[in-house]
Structure 1
Amino acid sequence: MNFYQRIQELAKKKGVSFKQIEKELNYPTNTLYNYKSKDPSGQRLIELSKYFGVSIDFLLGRKDNELVGLGKFIDELNRRYDDVISLSFMNSDFFGFCIVIEEIALNSLRIALGTNMTSEIISEYSSTGFKRQEYLSNFKEQIDDKTLKALEIPHLKETILEQEKQIASKYFV
């Protein structure tokens, strides 16, 4: 897959058009389309890498799948969500569920940050439990209802992913 095909695929996954990307990144019209026949500059590679949350090596086709930074965090959190949540949900009350979410998010953060993970980040991230309880409070009644499964609660997963992204975004520049 060449560079043009990669950005085409990433734009489709993100649900945006080339025109939207060009507008958001202040690129001249048809900049992305022109990559069908020419290579991007180093600066554009960096900008597009950050925009899509993937490595430059991935954009250039040197690696098959490598998310970096916040994109890697969200991908890892999303991957772990279905397995862990469905297993722990039925044995948990609201506060127990919040703790499970924190553990999943913290482990995802460890994977995304790798060697940049510090004890200060762990401590600070763990101290955001009140934010977690706040954004999950809209779901408290459903979480405490033992007849439901976490995967059946509308918008729960999307809310968790979006809110944890906001909480963790400060650790990725």
Structure 2
Amino acid sequence: MPRTPACGGIVARADPPADRRGDRFAAALTALVMLGVLVTSSAPLFAAQAVVFALGAFVGLRYSPYPALYRAVVAPRLVELGRAPRLAWLRRLGSPVRPEPAAPVRGAHALGFGLAVLGSVGYLARLTGLGEVSAVLVLAAAVTNAAVGFCPGRVAYQALYQLFARLNRHRSQPETQQGAIA
């Protein structure tokens, strides 16, 4: 299987493109979970979110529960509701949009996984500040993604991808002998 240069993670060959609507729905659910984590200071709830992130990042987006819930329950209902004349605008929400590559979304899930594990450990070790900061970072990214479609995790993934690609290009260039007399 091919490896992504940024994270060194394995990307499945059959990983289909990501649906932006499902990603934003998942971000909204993640934001709700993070609000619950911040209100309750619950390490198990944070760990459950870490499992959701791990499934999306390391197993594949099609196995992640939030996008699966969107595909199975929400999208078909939007199409059904869009058939009513007064709710025709909902049809656009249920119709396919331009898909995006899965790798940046999986990279964002990997970043979220890291923060969720860090926060869970923080809460378990009674380092509440560490848990809260991690939860606030995940919450801010999730709200931004759900509200306006901008995902800081995808931007971070793409920046890391470009950085590692440049480093790999630099390493692969043959070294010249400086100071050698021709």
Query: Which bin holds the TM-score, normalised by the shorter protein?
Result: under 0.3
Higher relative contact order (CA 8 A, sep 6+): 2
- TM-score scaled by length of structure 1: 0.27
Give the alignment's TM-score, normalised by structure 2: 0.26
